[in-house]
Structure 1
Amino acid sequence: MLSTTLRCAWCSSLFPPLSFSTKPLSSSSSSSSSLHYSPWSGLQSWRENPLNKYRLWGPNGPEPLPPSPCTPLEVCEGPMALASSLAEMGSLVLSTSDPLTKSKLSHLAYSRWRTEHLPIGDSQAPYRPARPAKPQLVSPKEIPAPKNSGLPLNAYMLHNLAHVELNAIDLAWDTVVRFSPYSKILGEGFFADFAHVADDESRHFAWCSQRLAELGFNYGDMPAHNLLWRECAKSSNNVAARLVAIPLVQEARGLDAGPRLVQKLIGFGDSRTSNIVARIADEEVAHVAVGVHWFVSVCQKMARAPCSTFKDLLKEYNVELKGPFNYSARDEAGIPRDWYDTSSTPEVKQDKSEPLSQVYERLACIISMENENSSLNRPPG
């Protein structure tokens, strides 16, 4: 997709360029539910929570890992121990192929950033995250049906969830690393939230991997698809599109599917796995809420209506939005229904008077002016 580098001509030296799509998108007003959304009530508490070390699923639920020597070695030593910024550590996680090591490094990276107060920094994300030799990645049509997979139904569903959670680690870290050059625009809170999401996802993968092993299987025992990373890759040049494609569509699908998966596992007679899945689904509310918060924030900076911008980006980036929807979970996470459910509100007339690219340019100039004023008001030394 073509892109343009937008700068304010008179202040280009003060503001780093940011690439956006050149395709004009409509500018439109939106309903009050979109402009004044109700954020998830637990968002601030989630942000302020201490580091979550409950990475083992015990007899009664999550438990902290028992003290043990640091293994594998690369988790304790090597590049991760020497990294000096959040973005640099995120790039190392993305470059790690072994799933369990990736999970442990993800937790270590977030822990180091929280406890050592490291800067966001600036790093380059790999073109695609490192992956293990297994599972074999195939098209969705080639994923075997449960009866042909060689796994019992509970292990089959758990393997699929483990694949989602492993991808989710990379999706969150890619957002941190890829947009790290624009930390002054987005603010530290953006990167703190998505590093926190990556830490949650690494814990979820650890639970899935542990339970698979208890059932006598491993992640990689059946093929999987690469749809999640494909959605991530096509939004690599636009932070607003990334927020739409990943937390507001892909992660929101987890809110839709979670309860159904729990009921299937209960019907299968596996209460231990159903409890793990229920806990993961419950914690995904925070991740969708983070996406809503930062999407609304970006839209406000661009003076754009969130509802219409969400729909325009779905079309431009060919992001598929489909139900059935879990309205109660989506409401809790703060996604206004008129963003995704066309039956909830009447169609709003679109005002095509201003291309979105012009809005981006205006935003760049405004932020540049703010940066200049901040520099002028900063005490010398």
Structure 2
Amino acid sequence: MLTMQRLKLPIPIPISLTHSHISLFHFNFKPNSFSSSASPSSTSSSSSSEISLWSGLQSWRESPLNHDRKWGPNGPQPKPTIHYDTPFGKASTLAELGSIVLSTSDPLSKANLSHLAYSIWRRHNLPVGQAKPPPPPARPDKPRLVSPKEIPAPKNSGLPLNAYMLHNLAHVELNAIDLAWDTVVRFSPYSEILGEGFFADFAHVADDESRHFSWCSQRLAELGFNYGDMPAHNLLWRECEKSSDNVAARLAVIPLVQEARGLDAGPRLVQKLVGFGDNRTSKIVARIADEEVAHVAVGVYWFVSVCQKLDCAPDSTFKDLLKEYNVELKGPFNHVARKEAGIPRDWYDASSSTSNQDEKYEGNKKQLHAVHERLASIIAMESENSSLNRPPE
């Protein structure tokens, strides 16, 4: 039986994960859909829920560099290029660039360097390389990090509701930059196993998140506030630390749980901002929520890929990992957005599995009833024919 230990990439490397088995982007499944059922040798699960990849995944991967880091009167627009000295020095690999971003404490500098690092890597076709991430990413003195229970309510935060919600989102986006780069850097020693495509995708995610933080920071300034004006929690990074030695767990916990929560919360946040009368901020949040679909889709793609190489069922493995790492799934869920991103509903919604089983049971009952009626009809017809053909006494 496959154990969770075999999902951990650090040495010893699982025999089933070899470079010859993993290509850069494409694995032994159809590009648009594949089954989550495991091979016959796996005992993880017998489920066969269908997984449909996000239809825009390949277009997102092939998209040109996005320099729309300013939110203009009509939406995103390019920001004037500012030439300044960077700390990249002799960094010549993606992992080295990412490690420097993680070691940058100033939030806006981190966001700008993130975009620059990704741009350099894309333009110069640098190798993934290897590097070590800083134990925790460098952070500014503000915001002060507290427990979730100590986060002030909106009325006690000193910020109006729209700025309060935007500050929370900015904190999520800054953490997301670090989460994506940490995934690139931490697992860089296994680039030959995972393939360059894994690192290309998560560096791209980091670039997107840096753009999102820039929009949030700009809008906060327009409202008269700054990131750091109220306390924030450190839950996101603690979840990241849990999965520091397990690539399957990292994919399950971060893209498929933490980022997926953004799909759930985004539309509700947009409606609250519209109700507050801040349409400009609502449009920024709506755009960010829309772009998060790609990040969750990336998580689905690579999680299923790793599970297939380990010969285990993605659905049961996902649930087992959440139990092992004590990660809770909280609704309400945006089923439409999650489905678009490729997360099967029965992975995260227990009621869906029960409902499917009930529907299957009811369907089987109806089919069985129809068979019984058909058999009864045939028997009656046979009896009638038999009586007609019987010779008179």
Tell me if both proteins adopt one fold, taking TM over 0.5 as the criterion. Answer: yes
Once the two structures are superposed, the pairs formed by residues 118-267 of structure 1 within 5 Å of their partners are: 118-267=126-275
Give a deviation string over 1:286-339, Cα, whole Å, max 9, x none: 000000000000000001000000000000011111111000000000000111
Are 1:61 and 2:75 counterparts?
yes
How far the C-alpha of 1:7 sits from its partner, in A, is: 5.1
**Most deviating of 185-194 and 338-347:** 338-347
Q: Count residues with an aligned counterpart.
A: 329
How far the C-alpha of 1:28 sits from its partner, in A, is: 1.9
Are 1:95 and 2:109 counterparts?
no
C-alpha separation between the residues in 1 aligned to 2:83 and 2:302?
36
Higher relative contact order (CA closer than 8 Å, sequence separation 6+): 1
Are 1:48 and 2:74 counterparts?
no
C-alpha separation between the residues in 2 aligned to 1:27 and 1:145?
47
Partner of 2:23: none
Change (3 A) 1:7 1:42: closer
Compute the TM-score of the two structures, normalised by the length of structure 1: 0.83
How far the C-alpha of 1:348 sits from its partner, in A, is: 11
Partner of 1:6: 12
How far the C-alpha of 1:346 sits from its partner, in A, is: 3.9
Partner of 1:38: 52
Look up the SS of the partner of 1:44 in the other structure: helix
Once the two structures are superposed, the pairs formed by residues 349-364 of structure 1 within 5 Å of their partners are: none
How far the C-alpha of 1:6 sits from its partner, in A, is: 2.4
Give a deviation string over 1:131-175, Cα, whole Å, max 9, x none: 000000000000000000000000000000000000000000000
Change (3 A) 1:342 1:272: same
Partner of 2:309: 301
Amino acid at match of 2:344: P
Give a deviation string over 1:178-234, Cα, whole Å, max 9, x none: 000000110000000000000000000000000000000000000000000000001
Look up the SS of the partner of 1:96 in the other structure: coil
Q: Is this contact kept in 2: 1:27–1:308, CA < 8 A?
A: no
Q: Is this contact kept in 2: 1:55–1:207, CA < 8 A?
A: yes
C-alpha separation between the residues in 1 aligned to 2:272 and 2:45?
42
How far the C-alpha of 1:126 sits from its partner, in A, is: 1.0
Are 1:113 and 2:127 counterparts?
no
Partner of 1:86: 94
Amino acid at match of 1:6: P
C-alpha separation between the residues in 1 aligned to 2:250 and 2:13?
21
Partner of 2:336: 328
Compute the TM-score of the two structures, normalised by the length of structure 2: 0.80
Partner of 1:70: 83
C-alpha separation between the residues in 2 aligned to 1:283 and 1:145?
28
Look up the SS of the partner of 1:131 in the other structure: coil
Pick from 44, 57, 64: which aligns with 1:28?
44
Identical-pair percentage? 78
How far the C-alpha of 1:81 sits from its partner, in A, is: 4.4
Partner of 1:284: 292
Partner of 1:344: 352
How far the C-alpha of 1:5 sits from its partner, in A, is: 3.8
Larger-Rg structure? 2
Look up the SS of the partner of 2:134 in the other structure: coil
C-alpha separation between the residues in 2 aligned to 1:8 and 1:39?
26
CA RMSD of aligned residues (A): 2.3
C-alpha separation between the residues in 2 aligned to 1:345 and 1:97?
44
Q: Unpaired runs of 5+ in structure 1?
A: 15-25, 350-381
How far the C-alpha of 1:277 sits from its partner, in A, is: 0.1
C-alpha separation between the residues in 2 aligned to 1:315 and 1:325?
19
C-alpha separation between the residues in 2 aligned to 1:27 and 1:172?
32
C-alpha separation between the residues in 1 aligned to 2:114 and 2:233?
22
